[in-house]
Chains A and B, each alone.
Chain A
């Protein structure tokens, strides 16, 4: 799946293959709540979201999970050394999330630094951050 990328094949500006996810739905949020243990009802009970005034939103960590999926679809998990994100926007049921990334820097020791982001179908940024990896 993700074993062919080598340091020499990558240039600053190289793009990580984009990952387009299936639309987020209520069932996915329930499943993610059960898997992760984050049972904040804001994510799983639309009524709670209404009361708080922001509506039902996805777990930020689910979207970081999408970004992690895109990264380790591209480079092997074992090459990943650092992964950092800022939660910039709210994801709602029905949103289609697309993850993209671009190499910002190549450094000594076969290290790459790559900016990543997840956006919804309206091009709003949901998650933005970077990862560092050491490639063969």
Chain B
């Protein structure tokens, strides 16, 4: 449901504790053998404080806290017809095991497009994350598409 009035809407912050085991699960599922993600010593040797979160780790809090589903439900988007259109990350600081992240979600865009495959609604959501020291660590933009 394309509804331009919701652009700018912000949601209550959500929290997420970064676990070493979850970083390991992610790299094992991806098949990424880079030792820095699972071996603290290897990471320290390369100049990190600990094993850093991977480039796409931040999808974990989004999915496990179900925050994105709030929007899908609220906007009566048919989940079975939702596709992930785009994903963008800006890395401001490393995220490490033990970090407590606070995520803030905001709708930043809403659009309707028609193409050869029919019309679709496009929703753009922005996430900003800070750590337990209130330092910004990451900004993410997710674009989801509902095929009509």
Binding site for B on A (CB under 8 A): 1-3, 21-22, 28, 31-32, 34-38, 40, 42, 52, 60-62, 64-66, 68-69, 71-73, 76-78, 80-87
In the assembled complex, which residues on chain B have CB atoms less than 8 Å from the CB atom of A38? 59, 63
Which residues of B are interface residues toward A (Cβ below 8 A)? 22, 25-26, 28-32, 34-36, 46-48, 52, 54-56, 59-60, 63-64, 79-80, 83-91, 94
Give the 6 A-B CB pairs with smallest separation, nearest first: A37-B63, A68-B55, A37-B64, A35-B25, A84-B88, A65-B30
Q: CA separation between A61 and B26, bound complex, in Å? A: 11
Quick one: closest B residue to A22, CB to CB?
B31
Query: In the complex the two chains form, what is the Cα distance from A38 to B5 in whole Å?
Result: 28
- With a cutoff of 8 Å between Cβ atoms, the chain B residues found around residue A62 in the complex are 29-30
A-side contacts of B79, CB under 8 Å: 40
13 A-B pairs whose Cβ atoms sit less than 8 Å apart in the complex: A1-B46, A31-B25, A35-B25, A35-B28, A35-B60, A61-B84, A65-B54, A71-B55, A76-B47, A77-B48, A77-B52, A82-B90, A83-B91
Shortest distance in angstroms between B30's beta carbon and chain A's nearest beta carbon?
A: 4
Contact of A78 among B52, B56, B83, B86 (CB under 8 A): B52
Bound complex: CA A40 to CA B69 (Å) = 11
Do A32 and B30 touch across chains, with their CB atoms under 8 A apart? yes
Chain B residues lying within 8 Å of A64, measured Cβ to Cβ, are 56, 87
